[in-house]
Amino acid sequence: MSLVMIIEDEEAIATLLCYNLEKEGYKVSVVNNGLNALNEVERQRPSVIILDWMLPEISGIEICKLIRSKPDIKTIPIIMLTAKTQEEDKIKGLTSGADDYVTKPFSIPELMARVKTNMRRAPLFEEKEKYLIFEDITIDLVEKKVKRGNTYIHLSPTEFRLLKMLVKDPGKVFSREVLLKSVWGENIFVESRTVDVHIRRLRSSLNKYGPDYIRTVRANGYAIDRNTNNNTPDEDEN
Ligand code: CA
């Protein structure tokens, strides 16, 4: 499903956009501050971004420039949303890399039409990487299914995201903090022990059908790799 990301600090506008975009059949994600914006774009890979110009801490213009400087996300269409109506501001917005420009107050049908037009130019992240494979573990990113050998394994959405994160970068040790931020999101409060609980569940689901490739790195975090010899059992954590 096509994901539209709204980067907007005004809750009323974000809610209004969210409601209308969902009605059009899009998946919607809202980021309410500029500081998290770049991370969230990299993590969620939206098809289109609606970006507010006036944001606290980092302006929409700055975010736009940052997105355009990152090779893996720079082609995502950006619709800039702003109350500024002066012509020179419009030019500034477009030269910073925005694809489109809508001034507040905007008409919902018009904005929906702009989203639709820009959606046609969205990069196809999913097609580029439909599968992630590590040894006998296959993750189908589109269908959101996991197979070990020929057996499908049922995982919760959280465990699925955890496994995806580890398999994307085999051998790399992810700290609990990094996993929390990427899997649960920046604004959600969860204790770091929650990561251990979900890793334990992930292990028990995966290891029914093969060796334990998840490595616990004491006091550090988790990785996935072929060296399963020096594994610390989960029970030793805390
Ligand atoms: Ca704003």
pLDDT digits (tens, 9 = 90+) for 171-213: 899 999 899 888 887 777 778 889 999 999 999 999 999 999 9
Structure tokens at 181: 């931020």
Domain boundary at 91, 119, 147, which?
119
Calculate how far, in angstroms, residue 89's C-alpha sits from the geometric centre of ligand 1.
Answer: 15
> Which of 236, 216, 234 is CA-nearest to residue 224?
216
The answer to whether 48 touches 5, Cβ cutoff 8 Å, is: yes
> Which of 111, 89, 105, 81 is CA-nearest to residue 20?
111
Helix (H, G, I), strand (E, B) or coil at 75: coil
Domain boundary at 73, 92, 119, which?
119
Helix (H, G, I), strand (E, B) or coil at 179: helix
Calculate how far, in angstroms, residue 23's C-alpha sits from the geometric centre of ligand 1.
Answer: 23
Calculate how far, in angstroms, residue 63's C-alpha sits from the geometric centre of ligand 1.
Answer: 13
Calculate how far, in angstroms, residue 101's C-alpha sits from the geometric centre of ligand 1.
Answer: 15
Rounded distance between C-alpha atoms, residue 145 and residue 154, angstroms: 8
Calculate how far, in angstroms, residue 20's C-alpha sits from the geometric centre of ligand 1.
Answer: 19
Calculate mean pLDDT across residues 119-126: 72
The answer to whether 179 touches 162, Cβ cutoff 8 Å, is: yes
Q: Report yes or no on 126 lying in a domain.
A: no
Q: Which of 89-93, 127-131, 139-143, 161-165 has the lowest mean pLDDT?
A: 127-131
Q: What percent of the chain has pLDDT over 70?
A: 89
Q: Which of 34-48, 85-99, 222-236 has the lowest mean pLDDT?
A: 222-236
Domain boundary at 92, 119, 146, which?
119
Calculate how far, in angstroms, residue 123's C-alpha sits from the geometric centre of ligand 1.
Answer: 27
Calculate how far, in angstroms, residue 116's C-alpha sits from the geometric centre of ligand 1.
Answer: 23
Q: What's the alpha-carbon Rg for the chain, to the nearest Å?
A: 20
Residues 136 and 186 in one domain: yes
> Residue 226 belongs to a domain with what CATH number?
1.10.10.10
Calculate mean pLDDT across residues 77-93: 78
The answer to whether 73 touches 41, Cβ cutoff 8 Å, is: yes
Q: Report yes or no on 124 lying in a domain.
A: no
Residues 114 and 9 in one domain: yes
Domain count along the chain: 2
CB 48: neighbour CB atoms within 10 A? Answer: 26
Structure tokens at 143: 């269908």
What's the whole-number average pLDDT of the chain?
A: 86
Residues 21 and 65 in one domain: yes
Calculate how far, in angstroms, residue 115's C-alpha sits from the geometric centre of ligand 1.
Answer: 19
Calculate how far, in angstroms, residue 54's C-alpha sits from the geometric centre of ligand 1.
Answer: 4
Structure tokens at 207: 């290891």
Calculate how far, in angstroms, residue 4's C-alpha sits from the geometric centre of ligand 1.
Answer: 18
The answer to whether 214 touches 237, Cβ cutoff 8 Å, is: no
The answer to whether 206 touches 200, Cβ cutoff 8 Å, is: no
- Show the domain range for 71: 3-119
Residues 160 and 91 in one domain: no
Structure tokens at 42: 């990299």
Calculate how far, in angstroms, residue 34's C-alpha sits from the geometric centre of ligand 1.
Answer: 10
